[in-house]
Amino acid sequence: MNPQIAKAYNQLEEWIEKNGPSSYDVSDIKALRFFIFIKNLSRKSKLAKILTAPLVFLSDNYSNILRKFFVVRKNIFPQGQAIIARAYFGKYKITKDKSYLEKAIAILEWLKENTSVGYNKYCWGQPYDWYSRKLFPANVPRATVTSQVANAFLDAYEILHDKKYLDVAESSCNFFIEDLNWEKDIDGFICFSYTTVDNYHIHNASMLAAAVLIRTWKYSSVERFKEYGLSAMNFTIKHQNENGSWYYWAPPDKIIGKIDNYHTGFVLESLEEIKKYLGTEFNGEKALKIGLRYYLDNFFENGILPKITFKSVYPIDIQSCAQAIITLGEIKQRLPELSEKVEKIAIWTINNMMDKKGYFYYRKYKNGRIDKTPYIRWSESWMLRALTFLLQEK
């Protein structure tokens, strides 16, 4: 393995162990009632937008000062916990060091005890209010979060073959089908909603759920998991743009939005996972191929630096870096010619986004400013898992 990457993994792991699972979050300031009020007010008119602009600027650029002023507390995030567990499972498979297995299992136990309240199935959300076109209360279960947690339990099942872990994943799959909001389109395809309280159509969230359904079907043989997973996958394939890209929002939502790096990465990772577990039944080969081509051609400056969107390099976001390594790390197992590229992306990220203390920065901006705040859910957990894809190299 590349010694620089191995060193970075060890430093990050030590930082997480030392500092614990709680942290601030990229969304905690904007989740405050005051800033939600400001956000809503800014949409009333052009004048309101101008008047509230300084406060919006403060929330975007001086979060740590505002956290002290508003006495914002750190949280433990189910999503971050799940991704750290997945990294530990990955490290265990490489080293056979049982301490990693024990740490991962301990996290799974915590996750079982910290599900979203009010649901009779295993599901998880984020521990803060969240604004996206409307206000979502804290801990409302999300497709994105639940899929990451379910995958951690499936990782455990693949290693230990203990059905209690598969049972959790099956419960989450039933949550996707029975508690999320979806309806069939004219072709009979579905798009899972983002949460239980919206009717949004968002490709990456729906595809993450689809991949979990297919993966769980592989071990449970519950046919409806396969049926719903394929239906959601075919919805996203249907709405792929001719150049291979996907908009963040899917029809019939009228908000087209941007085409960005890490959300595209989630879709491609999900397609690759579905291909892995479906085998010869996979019918998304063309979509995966042209999607990967678009991703490689449009989201990397000089072929290495992960861009935030196909148009913009800045701000350089750590999740774009991490997801690029994860997405291409998954695919390189089938296409080893990607191995060198993945390693170069990882080394660039280590050299440019990693602090000497062992954690990774959130963002770098065009004006040279760096937001060095460590965020477990957004940054550190993802990079820990990302680096595990390279620990066996060379």
Structure confidence by residue, pLDDT tens digits, 156-180? 999 999 999 999 999 999 999 999 9
How far apart CA 93 and CA 87 sit, in angstroms, is 10
* 223 has pLDDT over 90: yes
| C-alpha pair distances (Å), 87 with each of 134, 150, 220, 339 | 33, 14, 24, 19
Tell me what the pLDDT averaged over the chain comes to: 95
Determine contact, residues 246/254, Cβ cutoff 8 Å.
no
* pLDDT tens, residue by residue, 342-383: 999 999 999 999 999 999 999 999 999 999 999 999 999 999
Pick from 354, 296, 289: which is nearest to 324 by CA? 296
Tokens of 78: 């189910």
Is 38 a residue whose pLDDT tops 60?
A: yes
Least confident of 214-223, 252-261, 298-307, 379-388: 252-261
User: With contact defined as beta carbons under 8 Å apart, do 153 and 141 qualify?
Assistant: no
pLDDT of 264-280, one tens digit each?
999 999 999 999 999 99
* Residue 60 in tokens: 């975007």
Interval 32-43 mean pLDDT:
82
Residue range 202-223: average pLDDT? 98
What residue type is assigned to position 297 of the chain? D
What are the domain boundaries of the chain? 29-71, 115-289
Mapped to the 3 state alphabet, what secondary structure does 273-296 carry?
A: HHHHHHHHHCCCHHHHHHHHHHHH
Asked if residue 328 has pLDDT above 60, the reply is: yes
Considering only the top CATH level, what class is 115-289? mainly alpha
Nearest to 8 by CA among 365, 364, 390, 328: 390
- 379, 322 in Cβ contact below 8 A? yes
Q: Could you tell me the end-to-end alpha-carbon distance of the chain, in angstroms, rounded to an integer? A: 5
The confidence band for 130, taking pLDDT boundaries of 50, 70 and 90, is confident
H-state helical runs in the chain: 3-19, 33-42, 46-61, 63-70, 78-95, 98-113, 143-160, 163-178, 203-220, 223-238, 261-278, 285-298, 318-332, 339-353, 381-388
Instruction: Report how far apart, in Å, the C-alpha atoms of 108 and of each of 178, 217, 314 are.
Output: 23, 21, 36
Q: CA 35, 52, 64, 138: dihedral to nearest 10 degrees?
A: 10
Calpha distance 279→275 (Å, rounded): 6
Tokens of 16: 């997480």
CA atoms of 198 and 175, how far apart (whole Å): 15
**Per-residue pLDDT band at 394 (split at 50, 70, 90):** very low
Residue that wins the pLDDT comparison between 362 and 63? 362
The separation between CA 64 and the C-alpha centre of its own chain, rounded to angstroms, equals 24
pLDDT at 141: 97
- Residue 138 contacts residue 184 (beta carbons within 8 Å): no
How far, rounded to the nearest angstrom, does the alpha carbon of residue 235 sit from its chain's CA centroid? 20
Of the chain, the percentage scoring pLDDT greater than 90 comes to: 85
Q: Give me the mean pLDDT over the 21-30 stretch.
A: 93
More confident residue, 214 or 256: 214
Provide the token pair at 313: 């390099």
The pTM is what? 0.95
pLDDT for the residue numbered 133: 74
Rounded to an integer, what distance in angstroms lies between the CA atom of residue 287 and that of residue 241? 10
pLDDT at 336: 92
Q: What is the pLDDT of residues 9-25, one digit of tens each?
A: 999 999 999 999 999 99
User: CA–CA distance from 139 to each of 25, 71, 238, 354 (Å)?
Assistant: 14, 20, 32, 30
